[in-house]
Amino acid sequence: MQSSRAPSVEDDEEGHLIYRSGDILQDRYKILGTLGEGTFGKVVKVKDIEMDHSMALKIIKNVEKYREAAKLEINVLEKLADRDPDCIHLCVKMLDWFDYHGHMCIAFEMLGLSVFDFLKDNNYQPYPLDQVRHIGYQLCYSVKFLHDNKLTHTDLKPENILFVDSDYELVYNSKKRRDVKRVKRTDVRLIDFGSATFDHEHHSTIVSTRHYRAPEVILELGWAQPCDVWSIGCILFELYLGITLFQTHDNREHLAMMQRILGEIPIRMARKTKTKYFYRGKLEWDEKSSAGRYVRDNCKPLMRYKQSDESDHNQLFDLIYKMLEYEPSQRITLKEAMLHSFFDKISPHQRLGEHGAGDIRRDKSCSVSR
């Protein structure tokens, strides 16, 4: 019997679609293999038989809450496509969506590795400063477009920034005494709009993946677009150093790390929060406990992480510092960030939108042929 007829559509116990290479969905999409897996479902590489090109198909679990979240993501992606049909603003392009026996499926252009997976495959060797600059510039530009359209992404992290093409060359690193990978092209796309929230919509209490979560979110003081800026500050640090800035799984420890790296949390925020982490405006934290020693030994003031005293490095850390401002109302906006001196060295052909000629290679990077 031909597998393409899918005589019986089966799910596993977690709600994932059971499929094999060669299966055909909607009489159109031939499954070539699995690209990745998440809590939401799986991403597979498919060939669009009609158009004869490959794409990435996100197959959501046959579970009500993930199905509803996928519908919200499709709504956001459709609105973004209306506002930006040529994907000038670097958000991933949705090519199709459909419901396959209870599995919401979303087809996307085929992209390369995430900046996180590339880092991991490169033994966490950080990106060169000029690459951090270009990735950071595109990230600010893309997320600013969301903010201008009354959206907050809420889940910015290195896993959600994908290279258009992650081809690399090997470059000898004299410090490491071995070859390391250097990505050839740093053009990126922003993905995963499953948690993106419009200003008028319900704002859930806790958003963001732990390490990139802003203090106002942890303290449950309400959040808006500035929480994305905090996440970008954490991401720039990680690309530059190859390590996560806040490596923790606990709220109180997370706040203690912030204080060690960035200084005291403002009294206004400490007094306003209904959470139980503070007493009389001070974080309740035992410096002498094992967790206290861990924070002291593994965290240091932000500026001490700089790898050089050259002006480029100083500018990057000035920008990160402004993005990691505790008070959301005083945190740098992405409009301001785009004008920061760190981005002065972005070359004319890399400039985007009103700042320059735009991406001349857009025809290449927005196409879906692979």
Give the residue numbers of the binding site for ATP. Answer: 58
- Dihedral pair phi/psi, residue 334, rounded to 5°: -70, -30
Angstrom distance (rounded) from CA 116 to CA 124: 9
User: Angle at which helices 251-262 and 290-298 pack, to 10 degrees?
Assistant: 40
In sequence order, the β-bridge partners of residue 57 are: 44, 107
Angstrom distance (rounded) from CA 42 to CA 61: 8
Give the amino acid at 106: I
Three-state secondary structure string covering the chain: CCHHHCCCCCECCCCCECCCCCCEECCCEEEEEEEEEECCEEEEEEEECCCCEEEEEEEECCCHHHHHHHHHHHHHHHHHHHHCCCCCCCECCEEEEEEECCEEEEEECCCCCEHHHHHHHCCCCCCCHHHHHHHHHHHHHHHHHHHHCCEECCCCCHHHEEECCCCEEEEEECCCCEEEEEECCCCEEECCCCCCEECCCCCCCCCCCHHHCCHHHHCCCCCCCHHHHHHHHHHHHHHHHCCCCCCCCCHHHHHHHHHHHHCCCCHHHHHHCCCCCEECCEECCCCCCHHHHHHHHHCCCHHHHCCCCCHHHHHHHHHHHHHCCCCCCCCCCHHHHHCCHHHHHCCHHHCCHHHCCCCCCHHHHCCCCC
Residue found under tokens 């999409």 = 29
Examine the residue annotation and report whether 179 is marked as an active-site residue of this protein: no
Half-sphere exposure of 221 (CA within 13 A, CB side): 20
**Catalytic site residue from 48, 155, 187, 359:** 155
| Residue 232: how many other CB atoms lie within 10 Å | 24
Which residues are catalytic, by number?
155
